[in-house]
């Protein structure tokens, strides 16, 4: 088991959609609180709407440090979270994703749409290419990711994913066990 003290910041991928079910807002709030209570920094998409905003608010309310990363065009739309301890404004979405990946020692993916899936897929692809060895946990609230997990199993069965890919992705149905997975899976931090 790796030393949980190696984790200092958690990058969380989640939705900014406002019309999603309450359970997704609740999971985001629980994640923000739990990250702060562990003394970790929250790194997230830097916008103050939907579950994304609930995530950051809960982390702040629990005394946590919040780092938002958002592109200039979303700042221009007025949805950037100006209450972050640090707000990193990037040139575009590509830079946003790479910055979020760089700042986090581990990744938690909550339910979300195309943007969240893109972030997850890129993080998993980078892990497959051995560009990082950071733990990735998918939080499958209310079975939201069941179809995606079935697809991964199908792709592995067809030979498109290496043996062990599905097992390397940690999947849980609740926030608390997701964060416990991270402390059990954290790679040694380089000095």
Q: Which domains does the chain show, CATH number per domain?
A: 14-185 (3.40.50.450)
Q: Distance between CA 183 and CA 109 in Å, rounded?
A: 16
**Contact 140/146 with Cβ under 8 angstroms?**
yes
Lowest mean pLDDT among 13-27, 32-46, 118-132, 156-170: 156-170
**Contact 40/9 with Cβ under 8 angstroms?**
yes
pTM here is 0.92
Strand partners, 89: 70
Q: What is the pLDDT of residue 189?
A: 43
Q: What is the pLDDT of residue 5?
A: 55
């Amino acid at each position: 088991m790796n030393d949980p003290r190696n984790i200092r910041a958690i990058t969380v991928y989640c939705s900014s959609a406002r019309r999603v079910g309450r359970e997704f807002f609740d999971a985001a709030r629980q994640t923000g609180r739990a990250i702060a209570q562990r003394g970790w920094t929250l790194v997230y998409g830097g916008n103050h709407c939907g579950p994304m905003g609930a995530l950051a608010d809960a982390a702040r309310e629990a005394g946590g440090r919040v780092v938002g990363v958002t592109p200039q065009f979303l700042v221009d739309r007025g949805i950037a979270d100006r209450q972050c301890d640090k707000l990193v404004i990037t040139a575009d979405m590509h830079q946003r994703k790479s910055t979020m990946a760089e700042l986090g020692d581990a990744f938690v993916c909550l339910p979300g749409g195309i943007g969240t899936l893109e972030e997850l897929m890129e993080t998993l692809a980078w892990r497959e290419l051995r560009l990082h060895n950071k733990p990735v946990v998918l939080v499958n609230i209310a079975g939201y990711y069941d179809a995606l997990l079935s697809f991964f199993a199908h792709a592995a069965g067809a030979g498109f994913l290496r043996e062990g890919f599905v097992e390397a992705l940690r999947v849980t149905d609740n926030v608390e066990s997701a964060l416990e997975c991270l402390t059990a899976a954290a790679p040694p931090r380089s000095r």
